[in-house]
């Protein structure tokens, strides 16, 4: 089993700028998917806002970020971060999903997403929000 814990930062319209900054500062590889690219432009205040993005370096640094949907509250300290678990297989993702979801609330059911064959969001019984997906190369 190989699971990586990745910090997932949440913004309101600043995710693209933040990820570009981290890419430059840390000499990483940048991947961005906008709400428009993902076919979900109505979820964001602007379809160019980031629905999924990341910066990763060969040295092991990894951060993910997105712009919180327009209909959700956000300010620094509210919906400010998630814990993202990037799994190597669907079985691994489902096992973690079931374990962490015990006594919790499903925020977004597991299913395919524009960046992963299996993705879901849940809030555990302590109020921590987890993103669980299968890590694949984004094209």
Identify each DSSP E strand in 25-139 by its residue range. 29-34, 50-56, 62-67, 81-87, 105-111, 119-123, 129-134
Predicted local distance difference test score (pLDDT) of residue 13: 93
pTM for the model: 0.68
- Which pLDDT value is given to residue 31? 96
Q: In the CATH scheme, what is the homologous superfamily, with its name and number, of domain 3-134?
A: 2,3-Dihydroxybiphenyl 1,2-Dioxygenase, domain 1 (3.10.180.10)
pLDDT band for 138, please (50, 70, 90 cuts): low
**Do 131 and 108 form a contact (C-beta atoms < 8 A)?**
no
- In tens, the pLDDT along 50-70 reads 999 999 989 788 989 999 999
**pLDDT tens figures, 70-126:** 999 888 777 777 888 888 899 989 998 998 898 999 999 999 998 899 999 998 886
Sorted by where each begins, the domain ranges of the chain are 3-134
Residues paired with 59 in a beta bridge: none
């Amino acid at each position: 089993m190989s699971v990586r814990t990745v910090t997932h930062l949440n913004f309101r319209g600043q995710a693209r700028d933040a990820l570009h900054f981290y890419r430059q500062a840390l000499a990483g590889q940048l991947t961005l998917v906008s709400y428009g690219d993902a076919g979900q432009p109505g979820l964001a205040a602007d379809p160019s806002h980031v629905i999924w993005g990341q910066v990763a370096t060969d040295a092991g640094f990894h951060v993910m970020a997105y712009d919180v949907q327009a209909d959700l509250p956000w300010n620094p300290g509210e919906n400010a971060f998630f814990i993202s678990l990037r799994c190597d297989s669907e079985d691994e993702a489902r096992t973690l999903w079931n374990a962490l979801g015990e006594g919790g609330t499903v925020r977004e059911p597991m299913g395919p997403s524009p960046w992963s064959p299996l993705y879901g969001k849940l809030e555990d019984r302590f109020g921590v929000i987890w993103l669980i997906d299968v890590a694949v190369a984004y094209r």
